[in-house]
Amino acid sequence: MQARAGDSKAAVLMLRMVLGAVLVFMAAPILIVVANSFNSSQFNVWPPAGFTLDWYHKALTMPQFQRGFVNSVIAGVLSTLVVLAVGTPLAYAIVRIKFRGKSLLQGVLLGPLVVPRIAMGFSLFVLYLASGSGLYGSMSGIVLGHALLMLPFVVSVLVANLGEVDPIVEEAARDLGAGAVEAFVRVVLPQIRPGLIVAGLLAFITSFDEVETTIFLVKPVVNTLPIEMYLYLDQYQDPTLAALSTLLIALSMLLVLVGLMFAKRGSLRFLLGGRGA
């Protein structure tokens, strides 16, 4: 029994070492970007030649980055609201309602996951121009494109979350006189709030960071921040983008912390690691 206990401890230690090595391997590029953002050299030389904050000042004061940041926030917020408004009833219908064509609907919803984003962007570009809708080069066109990309992720998160909501509670609310909409708002919606928060954060971050599809849909006046960064990289090779990327990493971490504060601890633990974890 002692040998087995020792073997178990050794296996756990080995597993932790492997996981630690994987985490270091995954975080190394991020750490290099952060370190390079303080590089005093005019080029991306490694190791850094010295320490400076000039690149942060440049990144924060460049008009194209400021305009791109505002456009990215607008597109992220609007597309997140759209995809939550559309994805929530779709997820509810998939979990609660039996109807013909459910499998087909699920297949259509998951379609954007298997289509390359470049192909999605080019298809939307052709559709916008051929339809004469005026969506090409507009914020509405970007929001619609991002919502289509994010819909499968949002529906998947909400379907998993709704699957844990006992339908008996909703039925009890209806028996007490609540209508279908009122029962959903008063009973179901509070229970899936953690899923909505996680889905919303995922949708916003995905929209904010989207490049492959967005590049086919924008004009200079509505360029998002990732597009402006891509265009800058095509002309300059200084650490400005490393500084801007560091700021975006910090922003992403802040958004995750905010989500952790607003989500219920028990429900979030289920979403991240399972109820029995």
Q: Kindly report, residue by residue over 122-144, the tens digit of the pLDDT.
A: 989 999 888 888 888 889 999 99
Q: Which of 2-6, 177-181, 195-199, 213-217 has the lowest mean pLDDT?
A: 2-6
Q: What is the pLDDT of residue 263?
A: 60
Cβ within 8 Å of residue 212, ≥6 positions away? 116, 117, 118, 120, 121
228-267 pLDDT, tens digit each: 988 888 888 888 888 888 888 888 888 778 777 766 554 4
Quote the mean pLDDT of the chain.
81
Q: What is the pLDDT of residue 264?
A: 54
The DSSP element (H or E) to which 7 belongs, if any, is helix 2-36
Average pLDDT score over residue span 51-73: 89
Average pLDDT score over residue span 172-190: 73
Q: Which of 95-99, 212-216, 230-234 has the lowest mean pLDDT?
A: 95-99
Nearest 10 degrees: Cα torsion 263, 149, 30, 240: -110
Task: Supply the pTM of this predicted model.
Answer: 0.78
Q: What is the pLDDT of residue 275?
A: 44
CATH number among 3.30.499.10, 1.10.3720.10, 2.60.260.20, 3.40.50.11710, domain 60-273: 1.10.3720.10
- pLDDT over 90 (residue 81): yes
* Percent of all residues in the chain with a pLDDT value above 70, rounded to a whole number: 90
Cβ within 8 Å of residue 58, ≥6 positions away? 240, 243
Q: What is the pLDDT of residue 23?
A: 86
